[in-house]
Structure formats: structure tokens, C-alpha cells
Structure 1
Amino acid sequence: MATLRERKNYREAILKALYEATEGNRLLGVTGPKLRDELRIPRQDLAAACAYLAGEGLVSVDWEQGNTPAMVSLTHQGIRLMESAEEERG
């Protein structure tokens, strides 16, 4: 099981990867296996992070059997959060 710091890092990494891959387009998404492989997040931790982010209204998730994210997309609120973070970085 991941530590609190790891869980927060996983969530941030997922949001950043989604934002970069979709260029802020909420009609596009990334498959769960691709996120897991690119970010090297264990399967159960990816599912937990996606469930958390979905609960916060930042992503939408299409789930496969066994609580596995099939497709993950940013919501409008998730895009706004990432755009705000991008503006802060300059």
C-alpha cells in the first residue's frame, strides 16, 4: 500500500499526464494501462488514485471489471485546475 506522499504524487502525475496527452481537451482520454505503464504506478494504486480524482470531480473514469480504469479523461474542472497551475508556473 502506498504512503500518503506516494498517493499524492500518483494523483499529481496522473493529472499532469492527462493534461499533456490530451492538450486540455476533455473529449480525449488516456487508457488505464497506458497511464500505469508510463507512470509506473501499481495497478491497485492507479485505481485508488483515479477513484479519488473522480470523487473530486477532476477526472472521469470508465471502469473495467476488477476496478481497473479502462479510460481516464479530465473533466472541465480538472482542465481548469491544470490551466491554473500552468499559469502559475509562467
Structure 2
Amino acid sequence: MAILRDRKTYREKIMRALYEAAEGDRLLGIDGAKLRNDLGIPEQDMAAACTYLAGEGWVVVDWARGNTPAMITLTHQGIRRMEAEEEGRG
């Protein structure tokens, strides 16, 4: 399992990738395995990050066998979080 700094980085990478791919549309999801490969996140850490993000209410995860995220989708709260972050960067 990754250290705290890495876990936070993984979560942010996932959120950014989902937000950019979905372009603010919460109906568009991303294949979990593809996202994990694209971001280079270890499988166990990907599952942990998705569990955390879902617990915060920022994503919805459809799980496959072996505790693997099959599809990940931003929630309305997740989009709002990313928009606020984007506005903060100005």
C-alpha cells in the first residue's frame, strides 16, 4: 500500500482524469482498468483510491470481480469540487 502522499496523488490524478474526460458531464464514465493503466496506478492502490473517492461522494464506482473498479463516474459533487478547484487556480 502506498504512503499518504502517494495515495493523495493517486486520488487527485483520478479526479483530474475523470473531470477532463467527462468535460463536466456526470453521465460519462471511464473504464477503470484503462484509467489505472493510463495513470500508472498499482491495482491495489487504484481500488483504495476509488473506495475513498466514493466514500467522499465524488465518484460512483461499478466494481468488477477481485475488488477492481470496472467503471468510474464523477458525481455532481465531484464535478462541483473540480470546478471549484479550477476556479481557484484562476
TM-score interval for Structure 1 and Structure 2 normalised by the shorter chain:
over 0.9
Any idea what the Cα deviations from partners look like across 1:29-49, whole Å, max 9, x if unmatched? 111111111110000100000
Structure 1: 5+ residue stretches without partners:
none
Where does residue 72 of structure 1 map in the other structure? 72
Give TM-score, length-normalised by structure 1.
0.98
Asked if 1:5 is matched to 2:5, the reply is yes
> Percent of pairs identical after alignment?
70
Superposition map of 1:9-48 within 5 A: 9-48=9-48
Q: CA–CA distance in 2 between the matches of 1:6 and 1:46?
A: 11
- In the TM superposition, residue 58 of structure 1 has moved relative to its aligned partner by 0.4
Stretches of 4+ aligned residues off by more than 2 angstroms = none
> Aligned residue pairs: how many?
90
Structure 1 vs Structure 2 CA RMSD = 0.5
Give TM-score, length-normalised by structure 2.
0.98
